[in-house]
Amino acid sequence: MGSAVYVTNRTAAVHLLCQLARPGEVAYAWTKDGVPLQPSEKIVLSGAGVLQIRNPTRSEQGLYGCSVANRLGSDVASSPVVFAEAPVILVRGRNVTGRGPGPLSVVVGGTVRAALGANVTIQCPVRGVPRPTVSWVKRGGPLGDNISVLPNGSLLLQNVSRQNKGTYVCRASSALGKAAATSVLHLLD
């Protein structure tokens, strides 16, 4: 109990363990989203503090809680059960041209034409459970000193120069898989 449990379409069963540090007579009570759980074909409750969810689906997502009580006191613990999703990058295949020196912000997936000296932000919106890790690479070379990855996963190119021209790849990864999307940066004369 305490950690998130991720399930997929291939998960046969989930076992949640609710254990007391001291042995003795113990009473267990299980809840899902604050509502007491009753045994069923999908939910098996063991007197030893084990909850089994058979063939979990999205309807079994929720916050599972266990309360334990004996003559010495009581304790409560919970774990979220979450349906996992492979990483997906929400690509927009638009071509964008920024003629002036002002900032330009685009979503990964198209061609970007920017003026020399402009600041360009390429966003990489991702979806997935657990949240995917986002990283960026430039094909054929390093990112460069004027480029940084922002906390939200966007790529910021400051004061773009001819060395920044090229293809940038956003990569999203988690334990369930990987996704990638590209944008090509061209510079206007």
Residue 10 has pLDDT above 90, yes or no: no
Using DSSP's 3-state secondary structure scheme, residue 135 falls into strand
Q: How much of the chain exceeds pLDDT 90, in percent?
A: 67
Q: What's the DSSP call for residue 141?
A: B
Q: Per-residue pLDDT tens for 44-61?
A: 988 778 999 999 998 999
pLDDT category of residue 69 using cuts at 50, 70 and 90: confident
Whose tokens are 């604050």? That residue is 34
Give the mean pLDDT of 90-108.
Answer: 85
CB 67 within 8 A of CB 29: yes
> What pLDDT does 24 receive?
65
73: left (phi over 0), alpha (psi -120 to 50) or beta: left
pLDDT category of residue 16 using cuts at 50, 70 and 90: very high
Which residues 6+ apart lie within 8 Å of 180 measured at CB?
A: 89, 169, 170, 171, 172
CA atoms within 13 A on the CB side of 112: 28
pLDDT category of residue 20 using cuts at 50, 70 and 90: low
Class of the domain covering 5-83: mainly beta
DSSP string, 21-55: SS-S--EEEEEETTEEP---SSEEEETTTEEEEES
Tell me the CA end-to-end span of the chain in Å, nearest whole number: 60
> What pLDDT does 141 receive?
86
Q: What's the DSSP call for residue 60?
A: G
Which residues 6+ apart lie within 8 Å of 16 measured at CB?
A: 1, 5, 50, 51, 52, 53, 64, 66, 79, 81
Class of the domain covering 86-188: mainly beta
Give the mean pLDDT of 161-167.
Answer: 94
What does the domain layout of the chain look like in residue ranges? 5-83, 86-188
